[in-house]
Amino acid sequence: MSLSKKQKSFRVQTVGCKVNQVDSAALVRDLRDCGLREAGKDEHADVCVVNSCTVTIGADRDVRKKISRARRENPESLIVLTGCLSSEGHSAQEDSDIVVGNEGKPLLARMIMDKLKEDSKTSAAGARQKIYGGRAWNVFGRARAFIKVQDGCNWNCAYCIVPTVRGKSRSREVAEVIEDVRGAAAEGFAEVVLTGIHIGLYGNDLGENRGLADLVHAILNDTDIERLRISSIEPTEVSENLIHIMATRPRLCPHFHIPAQSGDDEILRRMGRPYTRDQFLKITHQIADQVPGVLIGTDLIAGFPGESEEAFQNSLRLVEESPIKHLHVFTYSERPGTRAASMPDQIEPQVRRHRCNRLREVGRKKFNAFKKAQAGKRCKILVIKKVGENCFEGLTRNYLPVLMKGSFEIAREYELLIRGYEEKKNAGILVTGPE
């Protein structure tokens, strides 16, 4: 395959988490810098990249489908597989011209350009970089900028393959992150979301006991970003300092997502989670007591191996007894290469699904009640996107979705009165009107 004088086009498809989305945004930036252009929606692309996830068997299947479809619809194109699935090894590699794991992403754009000039199959391990994905906020086309501050994980949860495919925790220097936040603010973004694979480990590899709270403090002091939000953080890593900053610095959004995974101590032990049910309850109640209006979300897994009905009831009670308002519930799925996949006492799939539905119903009720309680309150709302004539979607500081009726500008924050609650799909939406 050789480069013609016509500008080559590319398409990047992403499967997986926000960190993978940031990596894709960085790759888009790199490919643009190399002189390629993004293909239109219905246009055949000269380069088709799938940035993969392998956290579940379902994600594996999705990646395989995307690779096969790319090959079928673009038979003369360069097919590229990168991300977590390529780090682990998979049959999807057989249909790909370039296979590059996470560690090789910094080299990928140059490899693609080199490959366009010749015609041999390419694979690369690459030299592991500390972090890939900086300066990537500006290709998302969104009102919020996602800035990657950390990658990798040092934990060894029984159900998770991520440490194998992402490596050990690595952190970006504070000065680099601040430069990115300033850049996002200068381009008009009102909110920055700090993201990573295991963000609570931020700074552990930098020395001098620098942690996530220190990074947040530095960003708030050294930038003028209107809203700062942190992504998912483990229960053991929510420090008193971080809670204090959220309680006293309004620019840090009052929103925590803290994965519980189970409300039963024996299941937590089998999962390899280093905390107890009581510790989770203690930290979430401490947050709720100290941070006005905070929204606390969590992750729960239904049907983990060995989960008895009593253990499952403990998860239900955890939701009821805690100040959690928003749930992400996952049906347990065996992931080859993890300890949990070979554990005895696997739960029947129909039981897993039933328990998942029960948890989701409890979660819907709590989230709806929290939304209804917002009626009559004044909230600062960031406009995310237009969804109709004089109708916009917005987001409160504590992460509630809002439907805004009137004339607004994207990525501007407005203080509005919440008029009421209107039931919609996905458990409802808040509605505001003109003053």
Residues in CB range of 97: below 8 A, 6 or more apart: 78, 79, 80, 115, 121, 122
What does the pLDDT look like over 139-194, one tens digit per residue?
556 789 999 999 999 999 999 988 888 889 999 999 999 999 999 999 889 999 99
More confident residue, 132 or 292: 292
**CA gap 135, 133 in Å, rounded:** 7
pLDDT band at 428 (very low <50, low <70, confident <90, very high): low
CB 394 within 8 A of CB 428: no
What does the pLDDT look like over 83-109, one tens digit per residue?
888 765 555 566 788 898 888 888 899
What does the pLDDT look like over 268-290, one tens digit per residue?
999 999 999 999 999 999 999 99
**CA gap 344, 10 in Å, rounded:** 46
Q: Which percentage of the chain shows pLDDT scores above 90?
A: 60
CB 267 within 8 A of CB 232: no
**CA gap 180, 138 in Å, rounded:** 10
**CA gap 79, 35 in Å, rounded:** 18
H helical segments located in 116-239: 162-166, 174-186, 212-222
Helix axes 240-248 and 277-290, enclosed angle (nearest 10): 30
Letter string b/e over residues 87-114, b meaning 16 or more CB atoms within 10 A of that residue's CB: bbebebeeebbbbbbbbbbbbbbebbbe
| pLDDT reported for residue 127 | 42
Residues in CB range of 372: below 8 A, 6 or more apart: 421
DSSP assignment, residue 26? H
Question: CATH 3.40.50.2300: which residues of the chain?
Answer: 9-124
Q: Is the pLDDT of residue 350 over 60?
A: yes
**CA gap 265, 274 in Å, rounded:** 10
Tell me what the mean pLDDT of segment 333-352 comes to.
94
Cα 352 → chain centroid: 24
**CA gap 125, 303 in Å, rounded:** 36
**CA gap 166, 162 in Å, rounded:** 6
| pLDDT reported for residue 304 | 98
Q: Is the pLDDT of residue 119 over 60?
A: no
Question: CATH 2.40.50: which residues of the chain?
Answer: 378-432
Q: Which percentage of the chain shows pLDDT scores above 70?
A: 90
Q: Is the pLDDT of residue 43 over 50?
A: yes
Q: What architecture (CATH level 2) is domain 9-124?
A: 3-Layer(aba) Sandwich (3.40)
The amino acid that residue 330 corresponds to is F
What percent of the chain is helix, strand and coil (3-state, nearest 5)? 40, 25, 40
The tokens for 125 are: 């391990």
Q: Is the pLDDT of residue 320 over 70?
A: yes
What are the DSSP E strand ranges found in 129-214?
Answer: 144-148, 150-151, 170-171, 191-195
pLDDT band at 54 (very low <50, low <70, confident <90, very high): confident
Letter string b/e over residues 236-245, b meaning 16 or more CB atoms within 10 A of that residue's CB: ebbbeebbeb
The tokens for 296 are: 């606390």
Tell me what the mean pLDDT of segment 35-52 comes to.
90
Tell me what the mean pLDDT of segment 377-397 comes to.
90
CB 257 within 8 A of CB 298: yes
DSSP assignment, residue 382? E
What does the pLDDT look like over 364-385, one tens digit per residue?
999 999 999 998 999 999 999 8
Q: What architecture (CATH level 2) is domain 378-432?
A: Beta Barrel (2.40)
DSSP codes of every residue in 83-110: EHHHHH--GGGGG-SEEE-GGGHHHHHH
| pLDDT reported for residue 306 | 97
- Indicate the average pLDDT of the chain: 88
Q: What's the predicted TM-score (pTM) here?
A: 0.87
**CA gap 435, 420 in Å, rounded:** 13
Dihedral of CA 254/257/263/267: which sign? negative
The tokens for 106 are: 């910094």
Residues in CB range of 288: below 8 A, 6 or more apart: 294, 296, 323
DSSP codes of every residue in 254-294: SEEE---B-S-HHHHHHHT-SS-HHHHHHHHHHHHHHSTT-
37-38, strands of its sheet edge to edge: 37-38, 9-14, 47-52, 78-83, 98-100, 122-124
| pLDDT reported for residue 2 | 41
Q: Is the pLDDT of residue 123 over 60?
A: no
pLDDT band at 358 (very low <50, low <70, confident <90, very high): very high
